[in-house]
Amino acid sequence: MRRALWRTVAGDLRRRKLSTLLLLLVVAIAAAGITAGLAQQQDAAQRWDAAFEEANGAHVAVFGDAATLRRVAGHEDVVESSGPYPVAEVRLVQEGGRRTDDVDARGAGGTRPAVGTPLLFHGRWLAGGAAGEVVVERSLALELGVEVGDVLTIEGHGAPVTATVVGTALDLLDCFYPECDSATVWLPEPAVVALDPSGRFGTSSLLVRLADPDAVGAFERDVQARYGTGVTHVLDWQDTRGDALAINQFFAAFLASFGVFLLLAAGLVVLSSVSGRVVARYREIGMLKAVGFTPRSLTLLVLAEHLTVAAAGAVAGAFAGGFLAPLVQLRVAEVLERGGATFPPGVLVLAVVVVLVIVTTATVVPAWRAGRVPASQAIARGAGPVSTKPSRLARASTRMHLGPAVAVGLKDGGARPLRTTLTVLTLAVTVVAIVVTLGFDRTVARIADDPALVGDPYDLVVEPGEAPRAEVEAALAAQPVATWFTATSRRGAVGDANFQVRALAGDVAGSGFAVREGRMMEGGGEALAGYGLLRRLGARVGDTVAVEVSGGRLDLRIAGWYSESEDSGEILQVRLEALRRVEPGAGPGAYYVRLDGGADPEAVKAALVSASGGRAVVGLAGEIPDEFDAFKVAFYAITVLVLAIGVVNLVATTVLGIRERARDIGILKTVGFTPRQLAASVATGSAATAVAAVALGVPAGLVAGNLMLDAVGRGSGIGPGFGRPAALVSVALAGAVIVALGAGLGALVARRAARAPVAEVLRAE
């Protein structure tokens, strides 16, 4: 009996190649999405950790004056350190005149630092501290297209330095440029000092490793409390790692989520396929029972068929996802260099198990029903029970005199309610994917139009450099500037949470930050929190928090929260007068400038540089990261896959329905139906299915899109509610296309049956 069972399974799979191939394809795609999402996230983290280990990475990078940093190096928790090294703000000028915004020039000798060792990718290190050489951080080199042998002019606050690029190296002190604004080049220490001879615009850096790598928060708070303004800011490895992997984690979550989304479609396809096969094989099932197959063996037969296909698809998809994972690692892969295929055993097993569980769940009920059908009933009914009552839509079409073809099509569409429902649900999943994708696309466009949603409510950033502030402000007043504010950054802490504190001055009320709840802070006793910080602290608008900053304590009431993507939204904004309560000498920082509508940022930038005699550094606000484009491509690609699944399932269901109705079609032809009318009736049924799917999928897609975008907002620090639903025009157009596609496919599938001779059709079983 067991051998007969497997022969039957193999024979049925060979006969029903279309539905078998559909199931195999759907399951493989779903497994690939889950595997690629989880594997690329795991692989990116492992490769960053491996690079950090190889570099003897710094647990904390401390910035401040050199004398203070030498004392920090003797801290009881420090087990190893490198530095302090002089750091100067510089601009790189490439051959051809292209200038960068500010980058950090870090002093170095002929030997790479023992802590936080820059990992060479190309070229070599500085030769004994020789003048005229520079090593460029890898992510900056990739962004600028800089290669070994290029000549750069390096401008600071002293005489410019001309240097040849002798190497590119990986630096793990901060996340990768341009996701993080900071970038590094290494120069001989005398060259760094020459670029900032007064020392007014530079600082020094110390790289340390701690006895307990997880105690960076306590170390940071202790250092700032103990040494005060001698330490300007710190970077710890945990925050850096999180920032470097953040985009990958979001992308991985989307891939895995859409893999589950595809599995939902797969489950519906399986349900539809199994139900259709059971109905189409009623007589065969009856015959098998008549020759000795038990209900249990018939149930196993149906389960075995689908699990065999699903297992093959899941294994193939899981391994395909392993090959796909390196291709979707975004910036981490580009900077660390893309690795080969990755096959984490745990991820592969998880993907296969999840797929098989869903397929089993979708198969077991119709399989059980197949085994319970009485042999005599199955043989007598042939194609199975069919509802002969006209549907409400069919009766309505008759009353509206829409013609017999429409009435027949609507009646046949409701003849098998379960199958029709499953087909509608499968196609509705497609509609949901389309609506979610359209909403994501609209949200990205909204961010591009309003960068304040990611914490960038400005067009230009002006670093005064050696230019007096009065001159800079006079130059701003002479340009089409709507408003400006300044920002001074410090590190602060509340309990165990360390974060950036940003002290604003100037037109704070008109700064343009997207305050999503509450209001902008109005006095020295109030603060504005990024959503990520609010969530980390477990605080609410209106709460008072005690913030340790610059060696003192500020009790601040949270007046509101705002959207901010930098540092995952873990930023606290205060007024400069608040910072001066604990740091009286704190001064304003760079100018953040918002222009009048229609003003040309490039022209204003050139005018400001000219007005300052080249002493001020003016940069343009950052653009939307390229990773958003990768998200969009992924969304559209997966939507196309889901659409293909829904369309193929609709075709398969229509073909099966036409086969079952072969004799009905013959009878319709004998009473005068033309081939065109028969095709129109099938097209009407398919179109009605598509209409139902659109009606169900559009509201579900709007809800799903809102939930997904809210999840992205919460994870990125932007906060919930920043997304925009798909535009009604776009949704209506997509719905119309799907309905037209359904009708067209129905008519196309029906052409052969509609043109077949009546005698041939009436002989069909």
Length of the chain: 765
Burial class of 223 by CB neighbour count within 10 A (0 to 12, 13 to 18, 19+): buried
Residue located via tokens 């990755």: 342
C-alpha–C-alpha distance, residues 502 and 504, integer Å:
6
User: Over the Cα atoms of the chain, what is R_g?
Assistant: 33
pLDDT for 27-58, tens place per residue? 777 777 677 766 666 666 777 788 888 889 89
Residue 171 CB neighbour total at 10 angstroms: 27
pLDDT at 626 over 50: yes
CB–CB of 100/69 below 8 Å?
no
Closest CA to 136 of 127, 123, 128: 123
Average pLDDT over residues 402-420: 57
Closest CA to 551 of 490, 502, 488, 470: 490
Burial class of 172 by CB neighbour count within 10 A (0 to 12, 13 to 18, 19+): buried
What is the token pair recorded at 339?
A: 């690795």
What is the number of helices (H) and of strands (E) in the chain? Answer: 24, 20
% of the chain residues with pLDDT over 70: 70
Q: Could you give the 3-state DSSP secondary structure of residue 373?
A: coil
Amino acid in the structure at residue 715: G
Amino acid in the structure at residue 272: S
C-alpha–C-alpha distance, residues 39 and 35, integer Å:
6
What is the pLDDT at residue 542? 93
Q: Does the N-terminal peptide bond of residue 178 adopt cis geometry, omega within 30 degrees of 0? A: yes
What is the token pair recorded at 681?
A: 């009736």
Q: How confident is the model at residue 569 (pLDDT cuts 50, 70, 90)?
A: confident
Instruction: Give every CB contact of residue 686 below 8 A, 6+ residues apart in sequence.
Output: 413, 650, 654, 742, 743, 745, 746, 747
Burial class of 501 by CB neighbour count within 10 A (0 to 12, 13 to 18, 19+): buried
pLDDT for 225-246, tens place per residue? 788 777 877 888 877 777 777 6
Separation in Å, CA 236 to CA 196, 509, 723: 26, 32, 32
What is the token pair recorded at 92?
A: 């790189």
β-strand 161-170 against 151-155: which pairing, if any? antiparallel
Residue located via tokens 């001159």: 471
Least confident of 31-35, 82-86, 733-737: 31-35
Average pLDDT over residues 529-553: 90
Q: Could you tell me the sign of the dihedral formed by the alpha carbons of 316, 322, 323, 327, in that order? A: positive
CB–CB of 296/3 below 8 Å?
no
Average pLDDT over residues 86-105: 79
Least confident of 61-70, 164-173, 708-717: 708-717
Give how far the C-alpha of residue 390 lies from the chain's centroid of Cα atoms, to the nearest Å. Answer: 47
Average pLDDT over residues 292-305: 73
C-alpha–C-alpha distance, residues 391 and 411, integer Å:
5
CB–CB of 409/681 below 8 Å?
yes
What is the pLDDT at residue 622? 61
Burial class of 762 by CB neighbour count within 10 A (0 to 12, 13 to 18, 19+): middle
- Tell me which range, 207-216, 366-375, 643-652, is most confidently predicted by mean pLDDT: 207-216
Amino acid in the structure at residue 228: G
What is the pLDDT at residue 718? 83
Q: What is the DSSP string of 146-179?
A: --TT-EEEEE-SSS-EEEEEEEEEE--SSPPTTT
C-alpha–C-alpha distance, residues 422 and 519, integer Å:
49
CB–CB of 612/475 below 8 Å?
yes
CB–CB of 83/162 below 8 Å?
no
Helices 675-716, 728-755: crossing angle, 10 deg rounding: 150
DSSP percent split of the chain into helix, strand, coil, nearest 5: 55, 20, 25
CB–CB of 653/423 below 8 Å?
yes
Q: Could you give the 3-state DSSP secondary structure of residue 523?
A: coil
* Every domain of the chain and the residues it spans: 78-210, 386-453+626-765, 457-620
Q: What is the DSSP letter of 99?
A: B
Amino acid in the structure at residue 352: V
Closest CA to 722 of 515, 458, 542, 457: 515
pLDDT at 110 over 90: no
Q: What is the DSSP letter of 390?
A: P
What is the pLDDT at residue 604? 92
C-alpha–C-alpha distance, residues 151 and 133, integer Å:
9
Q: Residue 561: beta bridge partners?
A: 517, 529
Amino acid in the structure at residue 679: A
% of the chain residues with pLDDT over 90: 17
What is the pLDDT at residue 640? 74
β-strand 203-210 against 184-188: which pairing, if any? unpaired
C-alpha–C-alpha distance, residues 256 and 261, integer Å:
9
Burial class of 689 by CB neighbour count within 10 A (0 to 12, 13 to 18, 19+): buried
What is the per-residue burial (b if ≥16 Cβ within 10 Å, else e) of 179-211? bbebbbbbbbeebbbbbbeeeebbbbbbbbbbe
Nearest 10 degrees: Cα torsion 65, 70, 75, 79: 120
C-alpha–C-alpha distance, residues 383 and 660, integer Å:
6
pLDDT for 706-730, tens place per residue? 887 887 777 777 888 888 888 889 8
Residue located via tokens 């190309």: 122
Average pLDDT over residues 408-419: 57
Least confident of 73-77, 295-299, 367-371, 618-622: 367-371
C-alpha–C-alpha distance, residues 13 and 15, integer Å:
6
pLDDT at 382 over 60: no
What is the pLDDT at residue 384? 47
CB–CB of 173/60 below 8 Å?
no
Separation in Å, CA 108 to CA 87, 172, 193, 234, 569: 10, 16, 11, 20, 33
Closest CA to 657 of 648, 665, 647: 665
Q: Residue 503: beta bridge partners?
A: 488, 574
User: Mean pLDDT score of the chain, rounded to an integer?
Assistant: 77
CB–CB of 268/362 below 8 Å?
yes
Backbone angles phi, psi at 205, to 5 degrees: -130, 145
Separation in Å, CA 743 to CA 211, 416, 650, 694, 749: 69, 19, 10, 13, 10
What is the pLDDT at residue 286? 66
C-alpha–C-alpha distance, residues 645 and 27, integer Å:
10
CB–CB of 405/687 below 8 Å?
no
pLDDT for 464-480, tens place per residue? 877 889 999 999 999 99
C-alpha–C-alpha distance, residues 111 and 115, integer Å:
12
What is the pLDDT at residue 6? 55
DSSP H helical ranges for 661-727:
662-670, 675-716
Q: Could you give the 3-state DSSP secondary structure of residue 711?
A: helix
What is the per-residue burial (b if ≥16 Cβ within 10 Å, else e) of 116-136? bbbbbbbbebbeebeeebbbb
What is the token pair recorded at 207?
A: 């790289």
Q: How confident is the model at residue 387 (pLDDT cuts 50, 70, 90)?
A: very low
CB–CB of 488/586 below 8 Å?
yes
pLDDT at 571 over 60: yes
Higher pLDDT, 225 or 62: 62
pLDDT for 431-465, tens place per residue? 888 888 888 888 878 887 888 888 889 989 888 87
